[in-house]
């Protein structure tokens, strides 16, 4: 068995805004395992400035993994605890190697084209006109759940956008999630949540920056709007640390991004702990290419979670890989009539 790795830069179709700034490109890495005539493909989806493993020695770690690929999956994953995106890439590559083909990791009614995954439509930050246009497009495209990135433009303008949606669409027509990416300060968050709650939203992701455990716990206790932890989960490695954090904060939801929290294994550990505490959850991609999105989607389908998932990111890039993944009427489908075109030189 041998392994190699490759860097690939995804280009956004248009600059995409969050409260952390504007993104025009997204770097990712692929691990390819070869064993006799079989090939496995894994994606190490790193988000610069957010991933806990955004480190100067990242490429060195990839070289080490490839040199030691014969250690096997279990030992490699245990050695890569503090490098969750590489953990995920390795886990994906081994699963791919064992599949009926390199892109079928979790065979199901989804991969056979018989069933689909309900997803939310993502509304990126921008000026008011751009955000309103995106909302209109998503609703016309058949989404019944949309997620708005908030926290970068004037708060009153964001409230006005929510108000205009609710004038036309009731909560039973359109479910609205918002994602602040930690944009609110701890002392202003509750008041902002009260104002947001007037528009009957489903939830808010990460209202304040992570690692303010006491402030987040207080907020989750009194919030008028359900809170979903997202960035809060990054860099929490041991099962005991995860359990302690959930018990202290007791959020209404957690959001799982496998590339940021240790792949399928790390995500499943969070799910098990959350369910023990009656905390709900859903899965979100972290701007991986269609290769990583495919693996996450197939795994997500097997979990049978009925909430809309955050898996609608495949169409964001100009140079993504052609794949069977397609979005129709607010659902992610696997179109068996479409072929993969995985070309790292694209």
pLDDT for residue 346: 40
CB atoms within 10 A of CB 286: 24
pLDDT for residue 16: 74
Q: pLDDT per residue over 140-195, tens digit each?
A: 999 999 999 888 789 999 999 999 999 988 999 999 999 999 999 999 999 999 99
- pLDDT band, very low/low/confident/very high, at 18 (cuts 50, 70, 90): low
pLDDT for residue 19: 57
Q: pLDDT per residue over 275-306, tens digit each?
A: 999 999 999 999 999 999 999 999 999 999 99
What homologous superfamily does CATH list for 2-98?
Answer: Enolase-like, N-terminal domain (3.30.390.10)
3-class secondary structure, 171: coil
Backbone phi, psi, residue 306, to 5°: -85, -10
Can you count the helices (H) and strands (E) in the chain? Answer: 11, 13
Domain ranges of the chain: 2-98, 117-334
Distances (CA, A) of 113 to 110, 186, 249, 338: 5, 45, 39, 11
Backbone phi, psi, residue 5, to 5°: -135, 155
pLDDT for residue 345: 57
Q: pLDDT per residue over 220-229, tens digit each?
A: 999 999 999 9
Whether the CB-CB separation of 35 and 97 falls below 8 Å is answered with: yes
Q: What is the mean pLDDT of the chain?
A: 94
What is the C-alpha separation between 231 and 65, in angstroms, rounded?
26
Q: pLDDT per residue over 104-135, tens digit each?
A: 999 999 999 999 999 999 888 777 888 888 88
Helices 263-276 & 84-98, crossing angle to 10 degrees?
110
Please say if the pLDDT value at position 2 is more than 80.
Answer: yes
CATH dotted code for 117-334: 3.20.20.120
- pLDDT band, very low/low/confident/very high, at 103 (cuts 50, 70, 90): very high
3-class secondary structure, 126: coil
What is the C-alpha separation between 119 and 88, in angstroms, rounded?
22
Best CA proximity match to 58, nearest among 77, 44, 69, 75: 44
Distances (CA, A) of 225 to 90, 148, 176, 197: 38, 15, 12, 6
Cβ contacts of 150 within 8 Å, gap of 6 or more: 19, 125, 158, 178, 179, 180, 183
Distances (CA, A) of 169 to 6, 127, 145, 179: 46, 22, 11, 20
Please give the average per-residue pLDDT across 242-265, as a whole number: 98
Q: pLDDT per residue over 226-239, tens digit each?
A: 999 999 999 999 99
pLDDT for residue 126: 76
Could you please report the per-residue DSSP string of 257-282? Answer: -HHHHTHHHHHHHHHHHHHHTT-EEE
CB atoms within 10 A of CB 186: 15
Q: Give the single-character DSSP code of 308.
A: P
pLDDT for residue 20: 65
Please say if the pLDDT value at position 78 is more than 60.
Answer: yes
Q: Do domains 2-98 and 117-334 have the same CATH topology?
A: no
Place of tokens 């791919």: 96
> Which residues carry out catalysis?
149, 257
What is the C-alpha separation between 296 and 298, in angstroms, rounded?
6
Whether the CB-CB separation of 1 and 70 falls below 8 Å is answered with: yes
């Amino acid at each position: 068995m041998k392994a190699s790795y490759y860097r690939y830069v995804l280009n956004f179709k248009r600059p995409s805004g969050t409260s952390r700034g504007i993104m025009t490109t997204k770097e990712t890495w692929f691990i390819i395992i070869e064993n006799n005539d079989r090939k496995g493909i894994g994606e190490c989806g790193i988000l610069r400035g957010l991933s806990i493993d955004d480190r100067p020695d990242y490429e060195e770690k990839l070289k080490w993994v490839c040199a030691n690929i014969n250690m096997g999956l279990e030992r490699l994953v245990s050695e890569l605890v503090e490098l969750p995106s590489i953990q995920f890439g390795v886990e994906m590559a081994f699963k791919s190697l064992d599949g009926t083909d390199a892109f079928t990791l979790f065979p199901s009614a989804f991969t056979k084209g018989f069933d689909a995954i309900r997803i939310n439509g993502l509304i990126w930050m921008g000026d008011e006109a751009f955000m309103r246009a995106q909302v209109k497009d998503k609703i016309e495209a058949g989404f019944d759940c949309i997620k708005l990135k908030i926290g970068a433009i004037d708060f009153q303008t964001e409230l006005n956008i929510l108000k205009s949606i609710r004038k036309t669409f009731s909560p039973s027509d359109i479910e609205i999630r918002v994602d602040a990416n930690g944009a609110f300060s701890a002392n202003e968050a509750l008041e902002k949540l009260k104002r947001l709650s007037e528009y009957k939203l489903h939830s808010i992701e990460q209202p304040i920056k992570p690692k303010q455990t006491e402030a987040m716990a207080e907020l989750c206790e009194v919030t008028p709007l359900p809170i979903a932890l997202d960035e809060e989960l990054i860099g929490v490695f041991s099962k005991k640390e995860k359990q302690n954090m959930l018990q202290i904060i007791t959020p209404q939801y957690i959001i799982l991004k496998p590339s940021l929290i240790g792949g399928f294994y790390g995500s499943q550990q969070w799910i098990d702990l959350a369910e023990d505490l009656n905390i709900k959850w859903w899965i979100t991609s972290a701007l991986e290419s269609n290769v990583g999105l495919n693996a996450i989607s197939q795994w997500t389908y097997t979990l049978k979670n009925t909430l809309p998932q955050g898996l609608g990111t495949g169409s964001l890039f100009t140079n993504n890989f052609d794949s069977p993944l397609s979005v129709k009427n607010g659902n992610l489908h696997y179109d068996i009539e479409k072929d993969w075109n995985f070309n790292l030189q694209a």
